[in-house]
């Protein structure tokens, strides 16, 4: 489990960051993953195929392999034992052979240590390995997290992406720059028509941009444009949180974010600040579907200011 690191800094930047963190966490807490030992499993692709596991802190996908299971993301560390036990029961494997981290947030990397200690391969973007090797902060959690143990850090990294054959299935993974963090990967099973999209999309909430760590709204748009070209209308899409989506949902989300960016450039030309954008709420028509957009809008506009008007 990653150690929580305390700090005592009193700069103006620290106070501003802490205040914004409270705003974001206060609004994000209702949708934040919680520790749980109740792990559910749903078959995504027939006997011996893909399974979706929920209740560990994020959506986890796994499948049976000859030498051990393939798993994508690992939930929170507090749920790792329950998750791995359920994964092994459903896949029929005694160990996880390969684990892919879609990004470095603690909801995705909680099983890394157990998999690493068991000799598993941990695949991630090189920037994910960097974050897991250092003390980090984020707008998606409070405080500072210390590095993971060496054995829990990715031992196979990529800058652009890669592919592998697992249990006879093609598995492709590729980089989505600055989309949710600055180390996001998607994982695609083209023959099964399944896409694991990580923290870039959600059917139930607005996925926060970790703009402290390289994410920005332009990266989110580019990621959705890329995913929209990859999917078919009936592609099953697994987000980091919540219910399954389809390829048609991805195309719709691309259109929503493209429109939002155009509006935000208009706000920048008007000299508006993040609070003004939250008050205008250009996403108000979607509140019933995705919930309060205040924290997302604040962070998205802040990410544009960082990109175009850096400190």
CA distances, 79 to each of 37, 125, 132 (Å): 6, 23, 18
Contact between 182 and 214 under an 8 Å Cβ cutoff? The reply is yes
- In whole angstroms, give the CA distance from residue 221 to residue 198: 15
Domain 4-308 has CATH 3.60.15.10: yes
Cα-Cα-Cα-Cα dihedral of 285, 140, 153, 125, to 10°? 40
Pick from 194, 9, 210, 13: which is nearest to 106 by CA? 210
Query: In the predicted model, what is the mean pLDDT of the chain?
Result: 90
Domain positions in the chain are 4-308
Sheet holding 194-198, edge to edge: 161-166, 169-176, 184-189, 194-198, 236-239, 245-246
Residue-wise pLDDT tens digits, 288-297 = 999 999 999 9
DSSP 41-55: EEESSSTTSEEEEES
Q: Is the dihedral of CA 13, 292, 187, 52 positive or negative?
A: positive
Tell me the CB-side half-sphere exposure of residue 64, using CA atoms within 13 A: 13
How confident is the model at residue 47, as a pLDDT? 59
48 band by pLDDT with thresholds 50, 70 and 90:
low
Task: Check residue 258 and give its pLDDT.
Answer: 98
Phi-psi region of 242 (alpha: psi -120 to 50; beta: other; left: phi over 0): left
Q: Is the pLDDT reported for residue 137 higher than 60?
A: yes
Give the global pTM: 0.89
Under the banding of pLDDT at 50, 70 and 90, the label for residue 3 is confident
Cβ-based burial of 106 (10 A; exposed 0-12, middle 13-18, buried ≥19): buried
Predicted local distance difference test score (pLDDT) of residue 310: 61
Band of residue 22 on the pLDDT scale cut at 50, 70, 90: very low
**pLDDT, mean of residues 64-91:** 97
């Amino acid at each position: 489990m990653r150690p929580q690191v305390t700090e005592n800094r009193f700069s103006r930047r620290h106070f501003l960051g802490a205040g914004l963190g409270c705003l974001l966490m206060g609004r994000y807490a209702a949708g934040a993953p919680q520790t749980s030992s109740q792990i559910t499993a749903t078959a995504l692709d027939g006997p011996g195929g893909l399974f979706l596991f929920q209740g560990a802190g994020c959506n986890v996908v796994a499948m049976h392999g000859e030498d051990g299971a393939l798993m994508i993301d690992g939930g929170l560390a507090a749920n790792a034992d329950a998750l791995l036990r359920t994964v092994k029961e459903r896949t029929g494997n005694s160990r996880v052979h390969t684990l892919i981290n879609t990004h470095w947030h603690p909801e995705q990397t909680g099983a890394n240590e157990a998999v690493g200690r068991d000799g598993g391969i941990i695949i991630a973007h090189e920037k994910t390995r960097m974050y897991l090797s250092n003390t980090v902060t984020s707008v998606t959690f409070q405080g500072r997290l210390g590095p993971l143990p060496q054995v829990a850090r990715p031992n196979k990294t990529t800058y652009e992406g890669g592919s592998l054959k697992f249990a006879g299935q093609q598995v492709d993974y590729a980089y989505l720059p600055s989309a949710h963090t600055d180390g996001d990967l998607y994982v695609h099973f083209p023959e099964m028509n399944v896409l694991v999209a990580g923290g870039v999309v959600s059917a139930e909430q607005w996925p926060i941009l970790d703009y402290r760590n390289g994410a920005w709204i332009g990266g989110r748009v580019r990621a959705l444009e890329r995913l929209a070209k990859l999917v078919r209308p009936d592609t099953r899409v697994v987000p980091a949180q919540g219910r399954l989506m389809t390829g048609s949902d991805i195309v719709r989300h691309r259109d929503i974010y493209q429109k939002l960016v155009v509006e935000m450039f208009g706000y920048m030309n008007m000299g508006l600040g993040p609070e003004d954008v939250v008050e205008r709420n250009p996403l108000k028509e979607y509140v019933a579907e995705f919930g309060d957009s205040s924290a997302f809008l604040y962070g998205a506009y802040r990410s544009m200011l960082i990109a175009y008007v850096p400190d």
